[in-house]
Chains A and B, each alone.
Chain A
Amino acid sequence: MVAMSDTLPATPRRTRLERARRLHVVLALLVGLVALISLNVGATGFSLVNVIAKTLRGEALSRMESVVLWDIRLPRLVMGLLVGAALATSGAVMQGLFRNPLADPGIVGVTAGGMLGATLAIVLGGMLPAGLLAMTGGTLVPIAAFAGSWLTTILLYRVSTRAGRTSVATMLLAGIAFTALAGALVGILIYKADDSQLRDLTFWNMGSLAGANWVKLASAAPIILAALVGAMLLGRGLNGLALGEATAHHIGIPVQWMKNGAILAVAAASGAAVAVSGGIGFVGIVVPHLLRLATGPDHRALLLNSALLGAALLVAADMIARVVIAPAELPIGIVTAVMGAPFFLWILLRQRGVVDL
């Protein structure tokens, strides 16, 4: 290869960061496009074009149209966008935090912790004093899921970090142990659950956006949005952390503060996402990985791109889930697992030498 000489002018070549920032726009457009298609696709013969035409002509929507649009498809779309963004961003943040591209809330047990919290709330929530129950209102399940995820993330970080070094092997193994333990506890709760709770839990385990409504959204959206905004501030810190905690400190990053922020953001985003949509896997691994391949690992752009692509991908997966066996629908967790698991294996095979356990 011909060595570039020093005398070359500072070329106007575009850096990967600049390309990644252009990708923001492309992905934002993609999100918009997928969202429009998603509103148009479904079991009923509902056409967005008709609705828009009617609105433009100033005609009232039929009752069916109004219900399908406002009470079914729109909340589901918004939920899909939020959950997708939350899962993908959590994945990117967690990978940065653990300094490993395979870390993901679903794999290391954070999702299991959220699920345990939510299950506890669903099954045992009724036993809380009525006053407390009224105070939490519809937000009990998301709050419990969030608390479960948060505690799990902290626990995992404590277990796998010694003297400032985080062992990925320990983290994954601790995640497996914790997932098993949480699964057992959830099993006990299921054993005690009544029929309606059981139905809730089963569907919820497979992951679905089917139950989306404005009440659920009102409880989850603020948590997810706050976590996403917080996560977007972590870019520079996560870049520094890629050089190790000591070096991150040397270049001026308040490491402990930043790690706590990252843990809180991951727990909040994935906890709330789990609470409203159940176990949707692999989005958090696939999305950041694809983006790193495309425009490099710089977290300053990676986090926002992950949120956008995650949102688009999850809404697309939800469309597939709604369409393939219409008029019934597949749980979306099955769709993401079918698409994501082979991809995950492919990553493992590609970097066999790099993942040292």
Chain B
Amino acid sequence: MLVARNIHVSLGTSRVLDGLSLSALPGQITCIVGPNGSGKTTSLRAITGDVPYTGQITLGGKDIATLKPRELAALRGVLPQASTLAFPFTVNEVVQIGLHHGTSGDHDGITRAALRRVDLLKYADRPYQDLSGGEQQRVQLARVLAQVWEPVVDRTPRWLFLDEPVSSLDIAHQLQVMRIARDFAGAGGGVVAVMHDLNLTAMFADRVILLAGGACLATGSPAEVMTSPLLSRAYGCDLQVGRTPPPGTPFLLPHLAALAAE
């Protein structure tokens, strides 16, 4: 499992994470939610080793600070919020860059399968830069999927860390990406996603971590965390959480919040 204990991160003079502790289990989708500036992305970047932090983060019992980049790459894939590409690589080539040498034999097969999974196999030979923003983000997801194609290797679960994976996607592809995450978790892998969309979070998360002010405000199932009082407090806005008919998934309508504000 993933365990972060007492994480502090300062960027410049401001303290972004203030003693954050969280954990996530393989076989589940864990969503990190919270208002802008609450430290969602920073907490993910600490977990992926991209920002210096104090505290301890372990993945499968191993301190990530002691693992080499190569060992980490065999254990987890990371989808950043925004990606850049410097040279005119094709879609196919971008996915292959993510493939770790030696982890799997059939690179071409995995590349094709990953692109098919995100519905972009037809663009395999197109220049990446010619694609739209949403398509590029799906190519990046395919790259990350290809990197950790088997959710479990030698009984060790692998992880997907996704930073706002659906932010620039249309609704069909939002659902598609969340289903990919659910399948990965269903096959035994771990998924940790930073999410803005609370409704998708309620639909797909097994566990929700609600951040506010750089610390954890609440943790639990969507039904436990996504309540009107907790969300209203976290987002500083009067929110009314509704419930679908059984299974009773929580949902939020901006309309209700707007009415409450008037």
- Hey, which bits of chain A sit against chain B, CB under 8 A? 3-6, 10, 15-17, 96, 99-101, 236, 239-244, 246-247, 249-255, 292, 296-298
Contact = CB atoms under 8 A, between A and B. Distances in A.
Given A4-B122, A252-B70, A246 B50 contact: yes
Given A4-B124, A99-B86, 11 more contacts: A4-B122, A17-B93, A240-B97, A242-B87, A250-B80, A252-B72, A292-B88, A296-B88, A296-B89, A296-B90, A297-B89
B121 A4 contact: yes
Ranked nearest first, the 3 interchain pairs of A and B with the lowest CB-CB distance are A252-B73, A297-B87, A99-B86
B30 interface: no
A103 B49 CA distance: 29
Interface in B60-77: 68-74, 77
B69 A255 contact: yes
A252 B89 contact: no
Given A16-B93, A250-B73, A252-B74, A243 B84 contact: yes
B70 to A, nearest CB: 4
A67 to B, nearest CB: 47
A296 B93 contact: yes
Contact of A247 (B71, B80, B121): B80
A242 B72 contact: no
A251 B145 CA distance: 11
Contact of A251 (B49, B100, B108, B116): B100
Nearest to A253: B69
B84 A10 contact: no
A10 B89 contact: no
Interface in B143-201: 147
Contacts of A16: 90, 93
B72 to A, nearest CB: 7
Interface of B: 48-50, 68-74, 77-78, 80, 83-90, 92-94, 97-98, 100-101, 108-109, 112, 116, 121-122, 124, 147
Contacts of B97: 239-240, 242-243, 251
Nearest to B161: A250
A356 B93 CA distance: 24
B147 A251 contact: yes
Contact of B69 (A4, A6, A99, A249): A249
A164 to B, nearest CB: 8
A338 to B, nearest CB: 28
B67 to A, nearest CB: 10
Nearest to A249: B69
A5 B49 CA distance: 39
Given A252-B74, A253-B69, A6 B85 contact: no
A348 B252 CA distance: 50
Nearest to B101: A236
Given A6-B121, A239-B97, A250 B90 contact: no
Chain B CB count within 10 A is highest, among A4, A236, A243, A254, for A243
A18 B94 CA distance: 16
A313 B100 CA distance: 35
A255 B86 CA distance: 16
A239 B97 CA distance: 7
A5 B121 CA distance: 8
A252 B77 contact: no
A6 B74 CA distance: 28
Contacts of B147: 251
A251 B83 contact: no
Contacts of B48: 246, 250
Contacts of A5: 122
A244 B89 contact: no
A161 B246 CA distance: 54
Given A6-B116, A240-B97, A243-B97, A100 B73 contact: no
Nearest to B97: A239
A124 to B, nearest CB: 40
B165 to A, nearest CB: 14
Given A247-B78, A298-B89, A298-B93, A252 B69 contact: yes
Nearest to A101: B87
Contacts of A251: 73, 97-98, 100, 147
Nearest to A15: B92
10 contacts: A4-B122, A6-B116, A15-B92, A244-B83, A247-B83, A249-B50, A250-B73, A254-B70, A255-B69, A298-B93
